[in-house]
Structure 1
């Protein structure tokens, strides 16, 4: 972000310098003066182009709601060996996911039926937990492709449609049938998201099981050693 602002200021400085310089040289009627003025005019056009492009790029990034890259986050990504391009792709992907989760939460809290589905499947809890796990381990982004690019966007779209249809003032038999079918689909995708989370943290759970098993073995060894010492003292 600071780097983009720096480039913007540099281009603006070049424009400020070129405008009066171009006017001054352009007032010279000699051929050399006209040639220099032409070159300066071309440079000015190029500088203005890059200035506009830099502003457009800055606004585009703001629209994506990508948060400022802190030193701590930069070091976090570096720990996983990510380069600038990978970091940019990851942050853009997660910004979109965060936006989808916010929309999903808004939809789930609008309709009683969707609230019930959320309570039954912990849909929002699962999506937010999945988001946190991906941020914690950005190198595992590829393992969350179904969640990020399929299940989450699909669920957002389904709940968008459900809320829209549910808000119709007049409902007939066909409307209620569509709502029921949509609710079933939302439940199925909610379950898929819960499965996504379970699969994503499966390795961590297996590691925890191993650590617990080792800890139990160590405790048992210490108990056996203590019993052996007590028996030896009694002899």
Structure 2
């Protein structure tokens, strides 16, 4: 039973108990009894929420080399913890995206067109290399990649329906178009992230060419 359904049943039960007490003609007991029921409902709901959503994230063991790398980057302990949690979640999303893409030919075609997975993995590696640049990948980390995973999850689910109506096919086509656009955004995220490196390379190439030209003239 879903959490929302359980909550509704709990509220309905409390209301029925209060209504039954009112019909019995004990108005003096309604308020205290209502407080007891309401309090119990809140406690049960809170406990269930903690059990379902309060599990701490288990991070992989951090090696001494990585810890040294983070500290050399000027990160505090809290920043390191936040970075590791973010990257752990991002890795899971990339693996889920890879699994989804491998399940469907249309998703594979989109991935080939935009190099979505390669761009995602490459951006992940760049962030690990330079964790202080985490904020430059905000769109990728918190919007584009999570949305891409959600969209492909839903696409796989709808495409797996045994009986498809005209509306189903229309939704599949609409979803594939949006996924294609999102894949392009992820590729753009990577290009923008490494843009400074490319500019530095252009400068180095230009200097090298001038040096070669000068040497050849001599």
TM-score by length of 2: 0.73
* Aligned with 1:106 (options 77, 91, 99): 99
Q: Which runs of 4+ in 1 moved over 6 A?
A: none
Shift of 1:67: 1.9
Determine the C-alpha separation between the residues in 2 that align with 1:218 and 1:71.
42
1:220 and 2:216 correspond:
no
Unaligned runs of 5+ in 1: 1-58, 226-235
Determine the C-alpha separation between the residues in 2 that align with 1:154 and 1:61.
21
Q: Which has the higher contact order (CA 8 A, sep 6+)?
A: 2
* Aligned with 1:200 (options 172, 193, 200): 193
1:60 and 2:56 correspond:
yes
Helix, strand or coil: the match of 1:168? coil
The equivalent residue for 1:170 is 163
Structure showing greater Rg:
1
* Aligned with 2:67 (options 71, 74, 79): 74
Q: How many residues align?
A: 164
Unaligned runs of 5+ in 2: 1-54
* Aligned with 1:138 (options 131, 135, 138): 131
TM-score by length of 1: 0.68
Determine the C-alpha separation between the residues in 2 that align with 1:61 and 1:201.
30
Helix, strand or coil: the match of 2:161? coil
1:87 and 2:83 correspond:
no
Helix, strand or coil: the match of 1:93? helix
* Aligned with 1:120 (options 107, 110, 113): 113
